[in-house]
Structure 1
Amino acid sequence: MEDAPLASLSLTHVHYNPADRISYLCAWLALVPQGLCVVYATLIWSNREIEIMLMFAGQMACEALNWCLKRWIKEERPREMHGKGYGMPSSHAQFVSFFSITLALFLLFRHVPHPTDTHTPFTFFQRFVLSVLALISAAAVAVSRIYLSYHTPKQVLVGCVAGTVCAVAWFGITTYLRRAGWVEWVLETELARLFRVRDLVVQEDLVDSGWARWVERRKRQRTLQVQAKKDR
């Protein structure tokens, strides 16, 4: 029997010009949404932060909207990529726009970290710089879609606008859920307690999570070791 023809997994199959270094870089930038999904899953599993869960829920809702818009508008991709699904709006541009805008809104308007004995959190200016870097990174991913001829400038622009609108709207919704007490109610449910869901990242940097307790434990261990040597 003849071997069956092989198929390409389109999730990560990116066309680029191997003789063009910028094209090669753009091919890697095309993998940013998949990488961010891995980051989401890792942070949710390791930190159980409800803020990250809410952000991921909004990200998936934004993706669902993109799926609907593409099948409603039904605009083809540029000629070089015809037959690879609809192109309006760009899902990559919409994805990274939602992520970067949501991250910027969180860092600038919701994240109020308090200093501890073991950690000095980022200042507002530093958080502003991080927000700008996130926006620049998102712009790079969006432009790469045009460079690789997967989308027209208009398709990318509409994707950026759609992602931005979704991000602002979702930030408003989650702000209401917090102020109305719905987030606090969820945190008190048995399911949230079972999965150890918490809400610390608003006032505590992720890098400081548990660090103060670890430092205190190490101090106690050293004290006990010194005391044990003295007792000998």
Structure 2
Amino acid sequence: MEEPPLASLSLTHVHYNPNDPISFISAWLALVPQALCVMYVTVIWASREVEVFLMFAGQMLCEALNFALKRLIREERPQQIYGKGYGMPSSHSQFVAFFSLSLTLFLLVRHIPNQSTSYSSPTFMERATLSFLACMCSGAVSISRVYLNYHTPRQVLAGYAAGAIFAIFWFFFTTYLRRAGWIDWALDTQLARMARFRDLVVSEDLVEAGWQRWEAKRKLKRREGSDPSRKLN
């Protein structure tokens, strides 16, 4: 019996020119959205921070918006390209635009580090530098889509604009949820408590709490090691 032809899983299947170093780098940049999704899930699982969860929820809604826009506009991709589906707007550009602007708004507007702790929280300039690098990387991902001929410049610009606009909308929406008390209400639910969700990253560096506990444990261990009576006991 004749077997059916095999299909290709195009999620990470990127065509590029092997003789062109820029094309090779662009192919790797095409994997940034997948890497960011892995990062989202990892940070949510490790930190249980509701702010990261909200950002990931906005990222997924932004993807749903892109899915709807593509099927509403129905503009084809550039000619002589292997990509499937519609090209307007670029999903890669929309994805990274939302991420970079959401991170920038968090670092420069929402994040207010607690300076009363002994740990030196990142300065405003350091947070601004990180935001700038995130925006530069998102621009590189968007340009790579044009370079690989997966999208036209117009499709990339439209995707970037859609991602940026949705990031601003989502920031104001989550700000409303915070000010109206909905976040505190959600964190008090049994499900959130079972999952151990918390809301510390807005006012505290993620490294701070763990570092303080580690330093206290090391100081206690040193004191116990230098006390002869404890060794005898």
Aligned to 2:226: 226
Specify the SS of the correspondent of 1:81: coil
Aligned pairs for 1:161-180 (under 5 A) are 161-180=161-180
TM-score in terms of structure 1 length = 0.95
Instruction: Report the Cα offset of residue 211 of structure 1.
Output: 1.2
Judged with a 3 Å threshold, the aligned counterparts in structure 2 of structure 1 residues 83 and 146 are, in CA distance, closer, same or farther, namely closer
Judged with a 3 Å threshold, the aligned counterparts in structure 2 of structure 1 residues 89 and 216 are, in CA distance, closer, same or farther, namely same
Task: Quote the Cα distance in structure 1 between the aligned partners of 2:83 and 2:165.
Answer: 29
Q: Is the 8 A contact 1:118 1:211 kept in 2?
A: no
Aligned to 1:132: 132
Task: Quote the Cα distance in structure 2 between the aligned partners of 1:117 and 1:220.
Answer: 19
Judged with a 3 Å threshold, the aligned counterparts in structure 2 of structure 1 residues 230 and 181 are, in CA distance, closer, same or farther, namely closer
Q: Name whichever of 117-126 and 22-31 sits farther off.
A: 117-126
CA deviations 1:86-136 (Å, max 9, x no partner) are 000000000000000000000000111124655211111111111111000
Q: Is the 8 A contact 2:97 2:160 kept in 1?
A: yes
Q: Residue type matched to 1:189 in 2? A: T
Aligned to 1:188: 188
TM-score in terms of structure 2 length = 0.95
Judged with a 3 Å threshold, the aligned counterparts in structure 2 of structure 1 residues 117 and 109 are, in CA distance, closer, same or farther, namely closer
Instruction: Report the Cα offset of residue 204 of structure 1.
Output: 1.2
Aligned to 2:108: 108
Instruction: Report the Cα offset of residue 231 of structure 1.
Output: 5.8
Instruction: Report the Cα offset of residue 17 of structure 1.
Output: 0.5
Specify the SS of the correspondent of 2:80: helix
Task: Quote the Cα distance in structure 2 between the aligned partners of 1:196 and 1:224.
Answer: 33
Task: Quote the Cα distance in structure 1 between the aligned partners of 2:194 and 2:105.
Answer: 30
Aligned to 2:70: 70
Aligned pairs for 1:19-30 (under 5 A) are 19-30=19-30
Q: Residue type matched to 1:61 in 2? A: L
Instruction: Report the Cα offset of residue 229 of structure 1.
Output: 5.4
Specify the SS of the correspondent of 2:68: helix
Q: Name whichever of 49-58 and 78-87 sits farther off.
A: 78-87
Structure 1: which 5+ residue stretches go unaligned?
A: none
Q: Is the 8 A contact 2:77 2:152 kept in 1?
A: yes
Specify the SS of the correspondent of 1:210: helix
Instruction: Report the Cα offset of residue 5 of structure 1.
Output: 3.0
Instruction: Report the Cα offset of residue 228 of structure 1.
Output: 4.2
1:95 counterpart = 2:95: yes
Task: Quote the Cα distance in structure 2 between the aligned partners of 1:208 and 1:7.
Answer: 48
Q: Residue type matched to 1:163 in 2? A: G
Q: Name whichever of 162-171 and 200-209 sits farther off.
A: 200-209
Task: Quote the Cα distance in structure 2 between the aligned partners of 1:222 and 1:87.
Answer: 61
Task: Quote the Cα distance in structure 2 between the aligned partners of 1:229 and 1:62.
Answer: 62
Task: Quote the Cα distance in structure 1 between the aligned partners of 2:62 and 2:179.
Answer: 23
Q: Is the 8 A contact 2:76 2:86 kept in 1?
A: yes
- Aligned residues between the structures: 232
Q: Residue type matched to 1:164 in 2? A: A
| Superposition misfits of 4+ residues, deviation over 4 angstroms | 1-4, 228-231
Q: Residue type matched to 1:42 in 2? A: T
Structure 2: which 5+ residue stretches go unaligned?
A: none
Task: Quote the Cα distance in structure 2 between the aligned partners of 1:86 and 1:102.
Answer: 26
Aligned to 1:152: 152
Task: Quote the Cα distance in structure 1 between the aligned partners of 2:124 and 2:5.
Answer: 56
Instruction: Report the Cα offset of residue 81 of structure 1.
Output: 2.0
Q: Residue type matched to 1:194 in 2? A: M
Q: Residue type matched to 2:60 in 1? A: M
1:215 counterpart = 2:226: no
